[in-house]
A and B are shown apart, each in its own frame.
Chain A
Amino acid sequence: MKGSLILKKVNSEFIRKIVEVSGVNVFACYQCGRCSASCPLVEEMDILPNQMVRLVQLGNEEVLNTATPWICATCFSCTARCPLGIDIAKLAEALRSISLRKNIDKVKINQISFGELMKLPQIALVSNFRKNTSVS
């Protein structure tokens, strides 16, 4: 995440896609950071939730390579506290969905033994598909 910002993508398809998928107007954010201050998992994240919003605002696709959207537990603390009513949890969900649509599958279900499959709760399997797919 070092180096200078490349701003030529501030008006890109990428932003439009995120806005469409999430239904969130990311441009309203004035970067007060209250989402980050509220987040119970912020210590585990590589970038803060407000930085995640910032990268989206700038159309920077690097945001898809960060762990933050995947660490998000969708507890909605950020959404509840955002003074501007931006649904940050939804934004994280949109980022995950966009990554998922790239069809990079890291969990090979056919390599899990039948015995293991029987033991694993379905919900764990489903969330595994959703979360352990695209983080490079």
Chain B
Amino acid sequence: MRVGVFVCHCGRNIAGTLNIEKIKEEVAKHSGVVHVEDYIFMCSDPGQKLIRDRIKEKNLDAVVVSACSPSLHEKTFRNNAASVGLNPYKVEIANIREWASWPHEGKPEEATEKAIKIIKATVEKVKSNIPLEPLSVPVTRKVLVIGGGIAGIQASLDIANAGLEVYLVEKKPSIGGKMAQFSETFPTLDCPQCIETPKMTEVANHPNIHLYAYSEVVDVSGFVGNFKVKVKRKATYVDWNKCTGCSECAKVCPVKVSSEYDVGVSQRKAIYIMFPQAVPNKATIDPEHCLRLVYGKGCGLCAKTCPAGAINFEQKEKIEEIDVGAIIVATGFDVMDPSLLTEYGGGKYKDVISALQFERILAPSGPTGGKVVRPSDGKEPKTVVFVQCAGSRDPEHYMPYCSKVCCMYTAKQALLYKHAVPNGHAYVFYIDVRTDGKGYEEFYERVLREAEATYLRGKVAEIYKEDGKLKVLGVDTLTGKGVEINADLVVLATAAVPSEGIKELAKVLRIQTDEYGWLKEAHLKLRPLETATSGIFIAGAAQFIRDITDTVSHASGAAAKALSLLSRNRIEREPLVAEVNEEICSGCGNCVEACTYQAIKIDPETNIAKINTALCEGCGACQASCPSAAIQLTNSYKKQLFEMISILAKE
């Protein structure tokens, strides 16, 4: 065996801590190592050429690249070696950055010792690696998009326009998402009705898009290229094939419920169409409030009124199964419930509202017809206080991150308020004004001039009621003086939070979320659209809060990823899967339980475990659970692991 070891400096990331010369000297002594070389950036073009040249010159038949995590560049180095005829599975990465130089920055000598052991152990592994060929599997050239906000809409249209079939699943009765709730959008002041509604209609009419509104994804099995998805189509109690969207039912329904679409600013009926431009424009009965459904008898006014005879109280939810090759998760975001912000009187005072509620009040098509009134008494507020970072940038109490969109929408709301109430005045409490987008800073300046809003630099301490007035207690750190404002209305720019139910959905999809519930990308810098599960992509604010411009770009990116995956009829998969030694396997079934991918079954005739290599992700859980080492991962054989451990554990 002729092994070449290539040690990367990663600039100062590795070489700043580790003694490269010492590493080279020690590793060169290890049996089988015929060449050791270092370079400042092994992943760069000259670095890769260096490896290719040495493979040829020194006739290497295995390579260890000592560099960063394999999740970053394993593929790069394997492809590189393959291009000069070395089997890619004879290339291994020794991670001396994340495992040695980074965590032990202050201890260069010990870190160097550790790095040497890691490299030697990897050399030992690569020596007994078996050369492999990738597995090829057929793909289903269809895409599932979860979430029908602007991200899901954009991704669906891009894929459908490229000629592939799309299933768009939305849990609410209409698509449109948060964007459909906004009054106008910054910095252009386009109204969503003008720019989003046409896209919603396009989705509904597109021959390649199957729109499943009021539906939820409940189960996903399979793997990249071949997912099997179960979609629950919730009962609407209205036959949507008959419903014409005339809304006569809602007129006669006697039950009023707080409207989700208007965020509680108005009421809807128990049978309702979410909003006039809803797509699909069909009525839905809310089973928690409909008298007939709650009591099982009586009322039924809607059924008597419906000219199309579409009401069906007996309707049942049903599960539909669909096959897709890729999944795009576009579940968006929610805003923090203002009642969590007790120091600001959220949920306690009617006139302390969230910015999303104020969007509905400002919206020309909203419940007040665009007339700005406050919830408590319907009067026009003359003094409005906007509180930015309400729940954001506050690691001690709420969310540590900046919610990114609040600076811009607060400026927009201050401007729209001034347009609606010219003799009113807006105060904006801020910590920093962040205007990081095209035309954003210019828009902010326009608001300062045109809305004459008073920007106060300081975080509000508390909001309380005194003599029937809302008192806002703050500070202006620029003048160094405390501030007290009697407000008619307070608008809280509540923190953006991951959408409700995302953690459960992530479990179903077997993808990760971060500690808050934002979907975790495969790599924050270089793979922000992909999840760690291949074939599942993220679009829009589900990954992290972003504005409409960024969401649309992100969604088109996710669509492109799905399209490139499904551009061929077959795809290649890693051959690093589990294999069973049939001589040893006793059919105990431990591995079947350990496998989260349902890739193992016990053959009823032979009583031996059988692997479905198409489903196997190569995680190794089966290997750890097998009492007799009958099941092992290709190129992570027990023998290899023990050899590695004995090197790593050596004193």
Asked if A83 and B459 sit within 8 Å, CB to CB, the answer is: yes
Cβ of A47 within 8 Å of any chain B Cβ, yes or no, is yes
Taking a contact as CB atoms under 8 Å apart, the answer to whether A51 and B480 are in contact is: yes
A83 touches B393 (CB 8 A): yes
Stretch at the interface among A5-13, A34-42, A105-113, A117-125: A34-42
Known contacts A48-B475, A83-B394; A34 and B482 CB within 8 A of each other: no
Interface centre among B343, B476, B481, B482 (most CB of A within 10 A): B482
- A83-B395 CB under 8 A given contacts A30-B431, A48-B480: yes
Please report which residues of chain B, range 448-479, place their CB below 8 angstroms from some CB of chain A when the two chains form the complex: 457-462, 473-477
Tell yes or no: B45 within 8 A of A by CB.
no
The A33-81 residues at the B interface (CB cut-off 8 A) are: 33-34, 36-39, 42-43, 47-48, 50-51, 77, 81
- Contact partners of B650 in chain A: CB under 8 A: none
Is B396's CB within 8 Å of the partner chain A?
yes
A100 to B598, CA, bound (A): 70
Q: Are A37 and B475 in contact (CB under 8 A)?
A: yes
Closest Cβ neighbor of B389 among chain A residues: A32
Do the beta carbons of B431 and A32 come within 8 Å of each other? yes
A32-B459, A37-B460, A51-B480 as given contacts; A82 in contact with B475, CB under 8 Å = no
Taking the nearest CB of chain A, how far is it from the CB of B430, in angstroms? 9
- A38, B480: Cβ atoms under 8 Å? no
Q: Are A33 and B396 in contact (CB under 8 A)?
A: no
Which of B389, B393, B397, B458 meets A37, CB within 8 Å? B458
Residues of A within 8 A of B480 (CB): 47-48, 51
**Given the complex, which residues of B lie within 8 Å of A77, measured CB to CB?**
461
Would you call A82 and B461 a contact (CB within 8 A)?
Answer: no
Residue of B nearest to A38 (CB): B461
* Chain B stretch 389-416: residues in CB contact (< 8 A) with chain A: 389, 393-397
Of the candidates B395, B397, B462, B475, the one whose C-beta lies within 8 Å of that of A33 is B475
A104 at the interface (CB under 8 A from B): no
Most buried by A among B395, B457, B458: B458
Residues of chain B within 8 A of A32, CB atoms compared: 389, 393, 431, 458-459, 477
A99–B551 alpha-carbon span in the complex (Å): 55
Q: Which chain A residues lie closer than 8 Å to B397 at the CB level?
A: 83
Across the interface, name the chain A residue whose C-beta is closest to B432.
Answer: A30
CB within 8 A of B477: which of A31, A38, A82? A31
CA distance A81 to B473 in the complex (A): 13
Q: Which of A30, A34, A43, A84 contacts B460, CB < 8 Å?
A: A34
Q: Cα distance A34–B460 when bound, in Å?
A: 6
Q: B461 to chain A: which residues have CB within 8 Å?
A: 34, 37-38, 77, 81
**Which residue of chain B lies nearest to A50 when distances are taken between CB atoms in the complex?**
B477
Inter-subunit contact B396/A82 (CB<8 Å): yes
With both beta carbons as reference points, the residue of chain B lying nearest to A85 in the complex is identified as B396
Interface of B is mostly: loop
Interface footprint category on B: 20 to 34
Query: Considering only CB atoms, which chain A residue lies closest to B478 in the complex?
Result: A33
C-alpha spacing A77/B431, complex, angstroms? 19
- Supposing A32-B459, A84-B395, A85-B396 touch, asked if A50 and B431 sit within 8 A by C-beta, the answer is no
Encode B1-15 as 1/0 by CB contact (under 8 A) with A. Answer: 000000000000000
Residues of B contacting A50 with CB < 8 Å?
Answer: 475, 477
Q: A30-B431, A42-B482 are in contact. Are A36 and B477 (CB under 8 A)?
A: yes
Q: Which residues of B contact A36 (CB under 8 A)?
A: 458, 475, 477, 482
Q: For residues 295 through 310 of chain B, which have their beta carbon under 8 Å from a beta carbon of chain A?
A: none
CA distance A83 to B457 in the complex (A): 15
User: Of all chain A residues, which has the CB nearest B476?
Assistant: A33
Which of A48, A51, A81, A84 sits near B343, CB closer than 8 Å? A81
Question: Within the complex, which residue of A34, A47, A85 is in contact with B458, where a contact is CB–CB below 8 Å?
Answer: A34
Chain B positions 40 through 58: 1 when the CB is less than 8 Å from some CB of chain A, otherwise 0:
0000000000000000000
Select the residue from B389, B459, B477 with max chain A CB neighbours within 10 A: B459
Q: How far does the alpha carbon of A38 sit from the alpha carbon of B460 in the complex, in Å?
A: 8
Q: Across the interface, which residues of A come within 8 angstroms of B475, CB to CB? A: 33-34, 36-37, 42, 48, 50
Shortest CB-to-CB span from A85 to chain B, Å, is 4
CA distance A47 to B473 in the complex (A): 18
Q: Is the CB of A48 within 8 A of B396?
A: no
Complex interface: chain B residues within 8 A of A82 (CB): 396
Q: How far is the CA of A7 from the CA of B474 in the complex (A)?
A: 29
Tell me the bound Cα distance from A42 to B483 in angstroms: 11
Report if A33-B477 is in contact (Cβ < 8 Å); known contacts: A38-B462, A43-B482, A83-B459: yes
- Scoring B343, B431, B460, B475 by chain A CB atoms within 10 A of each residue's CB, the highest score goes to B475
CB pair B395–A37 under 8 Å, yes or no, is no
Looking at A31, A34, A37, A48, the one whose CB has the most chain B CB atoms below 10 A away is: A37
Q: CA of A134 to CA of B460 in the docked complex: distance in angstroms?
A: 33
Contacts of A81 in B (CB 8 A): 343, 461
A53 → chain B closest CB, angstroms: 11
CB-CB contacts of A18-39 with B at 8 A, as 1s and 0s?
0000000000001111101111
Beta-carbon contacts under 8 Å, B480-509 to A: 480-483
The residues of A that contact B396 with a CB separation of less than 8 Å are: 82-85
Chain A contacts for B389, CB-based, 8 A: 32
Using A32-B459, A83-B459 as known contacts, say yes or no to A37 and B482 having CB atoms under 8 A apart: yes
Q: Which of B637-651 contact A (CB under 8 A)?
A: none
- The 9 A-B pairs with the shortest beta carbon distances in the complex, nearest first, are A33-B458, A37-B461, A83-B394, A33-B477, A34-B459, A38-B461, A32-B459, A37-B475, A85-B396
Can you list 29 pairs linking A and B with CB atoms under 8 Å apart? A30-B393, A30-B432, A32-B389, A32-B458, A32-B459, A33-B457, A33-B458, A33-B474, A33-B475, A33-B476, A34-B458, A36-B477, A36-B482, A37-B458, A37-B459, A37-B474, A39-B482, A42-B482, A43-B482, A47-B480, A48-B475, A48-B482, A50-B475, A81-B343, A81-B461, A83-B395, A84-B395, A84-B396, A85-B395
Residues of B bordering A, CB below 8 Å = 343, 389, 393-397, 431-432, 457-462, 473-477, 480-483
Q: A36-B475, A83-B394 are in contact. List 8 more A-B contacts (CB 8 A).
A: A30-B393, A32-B477, A33-B474, A34-B458, A34-B475, A37-B460, A42-B482, A77-B461
